[in-house]
Structure 1
């Protein structure tokens, strides 16, 4: 193959305030999984930089759970579809698909023989169903609730028992199979968010928005005790996870803590404090072998440290929202990837190991439209908060002073030599030098969409919505129109000079990329066709002979400048989402990103 997927840096879980997030564990203990948008993300628990993404759901997925056999995963989405798919093959073949009810699926549970599945949620005609995994035929009825069911679990030893918990402040107990409703437990005073059986089946626990956790007998459903007495947590409890030996459990709460309980002693042995910000509320947890994981409202995944409860062993960061732009930079011999998302967050990744973090301090407060690295090792970024920021890549800290406020929203930023940057704003061009505005050009007579600065300095190219490229010369602190325009087939979407300045590539909405030869007075060199929808982004390879393009059609093309017919096509590079950013780490490694909030590295062989 001329291309191969080398690495996937996965998105974080998509979080919602006051809604618990289910994080599933693989029975062998190697992986954990969660959902973000239409994706199910599977990550290695020891090395979370190793990730796999399942993207076959047409709607947002809310929950995914491994079968106890470990061979299949069941995932459920907001439309009520359940997909059961293979975990052993890379292409995750679909085994079965069912629609137990129409509406959100909020939780899934399997019986220990991997033969029966219970699903619950927010259906129109019912809130849950239990069925055989291979035929979809019903093995009982989930009744007894008057509101949305939030959680379900099945005892993993015979005789089987099933418990559900709901927004009607109750839990319901079922015997089976076929599962029949036995009775309701109404010990909680508010919504019941989670129910989980211990692995040995002797007990189950329920957690509620009232901050309480109750323990019950796994076989009879009799109440044993309220964990921690009157209140287990100061805030609502959103998730529970038992230790493999059934002696302890962890609980995640909106009070920004996770507690580790000794069940027999009815005491919280450890309280993990995970911050003071609203985004530090804990909405999910998982006990997997010796790992204790929790998920914050920010989407960060915390590996808890029993020896130091105030500081996690590690925190997985990244993006939980759509990524809009991408760039790369070498720093002290190491390659880094920088990505900006629609919540204003900029993340940096070590391209080799996948370790990542965000800049410290206060950054953009809204969508990051474009980022680039200038000659002074600064990340130049522009956002919908009407600011242009210059951030030192050595300090990795936002500076309150190195930002330029602009009057109209910037769409695009381009960097050039000698401290110059060009901001393309709505109806306006701004030339910046040494982090300061030095020239503004209004009343252009066209709507600018994209810009590029020649690497040799002296020239700025600006692409318009009128399908023309306007050339300006940079004279000291001014931009002067050269009176020369280049024609392309449609409104310009992105443009870039090759690294040696020999070519200018221009992408447009009419699915064409036009390359102009700079030395020959910007004569048309070649036109490149192949995309089925408008082209969004371009990036030149370091060898200046190839460039990549990404489009609304989810395709990435790799082109050869001198031969428009010689191309490599990567279909479905990010399935279900268009390509939003491209960059080259070296001549054979392309980085792509998309609104699925993940980053992929591809090895390319020309």
Structure 2
């Protein structure tokens, strides 16, 4: 194969304030899974940089759970569709597909023999369904709730029992199979967010927005006790997860804590404090073998430490919103990937291990549109918040002073040695030196789309509709010497090769064009292949290849001088087009997309 996927740095879960997030765990204890957009993300619990993404849903996926056998995963989406698919094959073949309810699915539970499943959520005519996984035929009637059902669980041994928790503040208790309504527990006075049976089936707990956790008998459904007396948490409780030995459980709350409970004694053994910010509210948790996981509203996944409750062992960060731009910087023999997303968030990744973090301090407040690294070891970013930021890569924190405010929204940024940067804004081109504006071109008579500085700092190229304007940089000015290049269509991206020999462009005419600088910008190559608008391009470090990504979901790698030779990465990100590209080295291409994940590909020519 001319290309293969080397690493997937997956997105974080997509979170919503006040909405519980279900994390699934595999029965063997190796993986955990969650959802973001139309993707189900499976991650290795020991090494979360190992990830797999399932992308077959047509609508936003809300929940995914492993079957107790471990061979299948059931995932449900906002349209009410359940897909049951294979976990053992890379292709994740679809086994069955059903639409048990006609609205958003909130939770899924399997019986311990992996034969029956319960699905609950927001239906139009019913809020729940219990059926045989291989035929879809009903094995009971889950009724008795007046509002949508948030949570469901099934006792993992016979006689089976089923419990549901609903927005009508009630918990439903059912015996089966076939499952029949037994009675309602009305001891909560707010939404019931989570119900979970202990692994040994002796108890189940109900957790609610009223801050209470009630413990009930697993066979009869009678209330036994409550955890922590009147209230278990100061805030609403969104999720609970039992220990494998059924003696303890963890609970995640909007009060920004996770508590570890001794269920027999009814007391909290440990309280994990996860911060003071709104984004530190805890909306999901999972107890998997020895790992205790919780999910913050920010999407961060926390590995909790029983010995040090105020500091997680580690926190998995990343993006939960679409990534718009990416660049790679090598320092001390290691490659680091920098990615900027739609919500203004910038993350950096160790390209080998996937270890990542974000810059500290206050950064961009809106979409990061483009980023480049300068020879001074700075990450230069332009954003829809009308600023250019210069962030020291070594310090890893935003500087309040290294910000250049633009008069208009910047679309692209380019840098050259000697502290030069070029910002192309809507209706304006700005030249900066040492982070200060030194020259502005207004009243252009054309709409500038994207710019590029020649690596020797002598020329600024600005692309627009059908033309590229070449300005010479003389002292602190941009001089228009009337040099233009004709192109077809609107230029969507452009870049000089690192040796300055070539200028590459992509445009709405679906062509990638390479101009030879030394030959007076004559056309060296034209590459045809995209069947929709290409939006991004990147030069490989050897200056012999360019990669282009387009709205047709394709990524092509082209070789200079050989317009017929191309490597085609089909569906690099399956559901979305690639929004930005960067080369880590001449055989490793980094791609990012609206699925909020970062992928690295090994390219073989």
TM-score normalised by length of structure 1: 0.99
What is aligned with 1:509?
508
Shift of 1:21: 0.5
Shift of 1:117: 1.0
Shift of 1:482: 2.5
SS in 1 for 2:279: helix
What is aligned with 2:549?
550
What is aligned with 1:323?
323
SS in 1 for 2:488: coil
Moved more, 467-476 or 194-203: 467-476
Partner deviation per Cα, 1:534-582 (whole Å, 9 max, x = no partner): 1010000111111100111111100011111100000000011110110
SS in 2 for 1:233: coil
Gaps of 5+ in 1: none
Gaps of 5+ in 2: none
Alignment of 1:517-536 (within 5 A): 517-536=516-535
Partner deviation per Cα, 1:342-397 (whole Å, 9 max, x = no partner): 11000000001100000010000111000100010000001111110000001011
Moved more, 175-184 or 300-309: 175-184
What is aligned with 1:258?
258
Q: Separation in 2 of the partners of 1:332 and 1:165? A: 53
Shift of 1:468: 1.2
Shift of 1:509: 1.5
Alignment of 1:79-228 (within 5 A): 79-228=79-228
Q: Separation in 2 of the partners of 1:438 and 1:589? A: 37
SS in 2 for 1:279: helix
Shift of 1:588: 0.4
Q: Separation in 2 of the partners of 1:252 and 1:553? A: 42
1:541 pairs with 2:540: yes
Structure 1 runs, 4 residues or longer, greater than 6 Å off: none
What is aligned with 1:591?
590
What is aligned with 2:4?
4
Shift of 1:197: 0.5
SS in 2 for 1:8: strand
What is aligned with 1:31?
31
SS in 2 for 1:491: strand
Q: Separation in 2 of the partners of 1:96 and 1:160? A: 24
What is aligned with 1:396?
396
Shift of 1:510: 2.1
Q: Separation in 2 of the partners of 1:412 and 1:123? A: 46
Shift of 1:195: 0.5
Partner deviation per Cα, 1:517-550 (whole Å, 9 max, x = no partner): 1111111112111112110100001111111001
Partner deviation per Cα, 1:417-476 (whole Å, 9 max, x = no partner): 211110010000110111111111111111111111111220111111x22111111111
What is aligned with 1:486?
485
TM-score normalised by length of structure 2: 0.99
Aligned length, in residue pairs: 605
SS in 2 for 1:305: coil
SS in 2 for 1:489: strand
What is aligned with 2:341?
341
Shift of 1:502: 1.1
What is aligned with 2:579?
580
1:49 pairs with 2:45: no
Q: Separation in 2 of the partners of 1:150 and 1:356? A: 33
Alignment of 1:231-380 (within 5 A): 231-380=231-380
Shift of 1:123: 1.1
Q: Separation in 2 of the partners of 1:114 and 1:481? A: 72
